[in-house]
Amino acid sequence: MSFSANPHAQAFWQHAQEGRIIFARCCADHCGAPQFPPKPRCDVCDGDRLEMRQATGTGTIFSITVVHRPPSDALRQYAPYGIALVDLDEGFRMMAHADPRLTIGARVRATFVPFGDRTVPRFVADQKP
Ligand SMILES: [Zn+2]
């Protein structure tokens, strides 16, 4: 199932339009595992009590790819753009747009930009000391 078609990810996209990254966190005792994209059961303990949390949007680049040939003509105007796997400080990994000049291990923060027909998270270098 694609990320966009997952009904539990729809809340993620709704919040992204408003400039927020949300994830689910397990409420089971001694677990607390983050779940991303948001989903109904915990990957770690199979618990079904999860709460939605807002991420701070800061993290570290795990990997990054630069897209020179977008998958559709409508997206050509954005190329080249970076697609990164980012380890958020809350403990989950997400795929998102990123500044193509970023390198693995870079500290980043989320911004939100229009891309095609929606607003998407885009990670840029975190300028804080
Ligand atoms: Zn759990």
pLDDT tens track for 73-98: 888 999 999 999 999 999 999 999 99
How much is the mean pLDDT over the chain?
A: 91
Residue given tokens 């001694």 in the structure block: 30
pLDDT for the residue numbered 74: 86
Q: Residues lining ligand 1 (ion), CB within 5 A? A: 26, 28, 31, 33, 42, 44-45, 47
List, for residues 14-45, the tens digit of each pLDDT value: 999 999 999 999 999 999 999 998 888 999 99
Q: Around 65, how many Cα atoms within 13 Å sit in the side-chain half-sphere?
A: 8
Q: What is the mean pLDDT of residues 93-121?
A: 95
57 contacts 110 by C-beta, under 8 angstroms: yes
Are 54 and 24 in contact by the 8 Å Cβ rule? The answer is no
Per-residue pLDDT at 1: 39
Q: Could you tell me how far CA 92 lies from the centroid of its own chain?
A: 9
- Given the candidates 2.40.50, 3.40.720, 3.30.460, 1.10.1740, the CATH classification of the domain at 58-125 is 2.40.50
Selection from 95, 93, 119, 98 nearest residue 108 by Cα: 98
Can you give the residue ranges of every domain in the chain?
Answer: 7-54, 58-125
What distance in angstroms lies between residue 48's CA and the mean position of ligand 1's atoms?
8
